[in-house]
Amino acid sequence: MEVTAKALANRINGTVEGPADVTLNQIAKIQEAEAGSLTFLANEKYEEFIYTTQASAALVANDFIPSHALPKHLSLIRVSDPYAAFAEILQWESAHHSYPTGIAANAHVDASAEIGADCYIGPFAVIEAGAQIDVGCQIHGQVSIGKGVHIGARTTLHRQVAVLDYCTIGSDCIIQAGAVIGADGFGFASNEEGRYLKIPQTGNVTIGDGCEIGASTTIDRATIGSTVIEDGVKLDNQIQIAHNVVIGSSTIIAAQSGVAGSTTIGSNCMIGGQVGFAGHLTVADGVKIAAQSGVTKSITEPNGVWQGTPAQPIKAYQAQQIALRKLIRALVLDRIEALEQKLS
């Protein structure tokens, strides 16, 4: 990266306040930045660092008003959303990185697999019969791609990802290390003797375009049909998605959450970390669920905010917590204080 503050501002529809011809050659945290660095301020908790940063330029909001004198060497690049602008710059910067192409000598690619132009197949990767890898894909070392799998253009699979038979992944996706796509769903039926018989999982997983699947996340294949991850979904690390789940477009789910079988989560939802969903539920579009909540029934109203176990509308949950604290104080703490006064 080597660009002037003015050129960078023009690229992200920003305006420069201060020297516009300063050259930026790296990106850094606001508290660690050095001369020549670009940084950003999107959270007021970090405002104190902007008055001491060594960065040459900082992305700030259009309405940012400094409460102290800024360093004389610092230029401000004002934008409507500093965090979004910073993400755009990072994407632009990463697009300029060069990636290898070709097939490693110790990779195994079945003769019937189709590999598109400008792909990279890393060491000890395995691509089985009938798989199709579209143009510009990055298949890193020790990745396993099963029979009949289809990987869309420019998708990246990091080390030790496993994509099992007949699953499909769209274009421009990122699958982080250790993710497993298409393992058997957890399906068993008990017989008269009380033994559990495995139900064959005959479906697959389909992942849309522009998705990201976090490290060590698992998405189970459907019993029948498909487990579906729609376009633009972002899943964090260590998430479990069970068989026949459907996750709507542009939904984001934080780490260690789990979705039980046949549950449908709508589009544009935001799910906090360690949220659990019971099976066979429906969650409406635009719903937000706070971390560590447990969803035990369908949520039919769109765009609501829910919290707690069992999850409920957040205002009701907060009112319940306030009432509970008052009750505890009335029944327990006040009595303890009265006894302490008597003893003293």
Q: What is the pLDDT of residues 167-199, one digit of tens each?
A: 999 999 999 999 999 999 999 999 999 999 999
Give the model's pLDDT for residue 147: 98
Asked if 243 is an active-site residue, the reply is yes
What is the rounded average pLDDT for all residues in the chain? 94
**Does 205 share its domain with 124?**
yes
**Does 109 share its domain with 209?**
yes
Number of Cβ within a 10 Å radius of residue 146: 20
Quote the CA–CA distance of 328 and 237 in Å, as a whole number. Answer: 38
**Does 12 share its domain with 45?**
yes
The candidate with the shortest Cα–Cα distance to 183, out of 209, 198, 204, 206, is 204
Give the model's pLDDT for residue 93: 80
| pLDDT(222) > 80 | yes
pLDDT band of 98, cuts 50, 70, 90: low
Give the model's pLDDT for residue 323: 87
pLDDT band of 2, cuts 50, 70, 90: confident
Give the model's pLDDT for residue 337: 81
Quote the CA–CA distance of 27 and 93 in Å, as a whole number. Answer: 10
Give the model's pLDDT for residue 235: 98
Per-residue pLDDT reduced to its tens digit, 37-74: 999 999 999 999 999 999 999 999 999 999 989 999 99
Residue span of the structural domain in which 216 resides: 101-184+199-225
Quote the CA–CA distance of 156 and 153 in Å, as a whole number. Answer: 9
Quote the CA–CA distance of 295 and 312 in Å, as a whole number. Answer: 8
**Does 129 share its domain with 208?**
yes
pLDDT band of 99, cuts 50, 70, 90: confident
Give the model's pLDDT for residue 271: 98
**Does 106 share its domain with 171?**
yes
Domain final position from 77, 95, 113: 95
Give the model's pLDDT for residue 128: 98
Tokens, residue 118? 């400008």
Give the model's pLDDT for residue 304: 97
CATH of the domain at 20: 3.40.1390.10
Question: Is 264 domain-assigned?
Answer: no
Give the model's pLDDT for residue 96: 63
Give the model's pLDDT for residue 329: 78
Residue of 140, 150, 158, 243 with catalytic role: 243
pLDDT band of 97, cuts 50, 70, 90: low
Domain final position from 33, 66, 95: 95
Number of domains in the chain: 2
**Does 215 share its domain with 154?**
yes
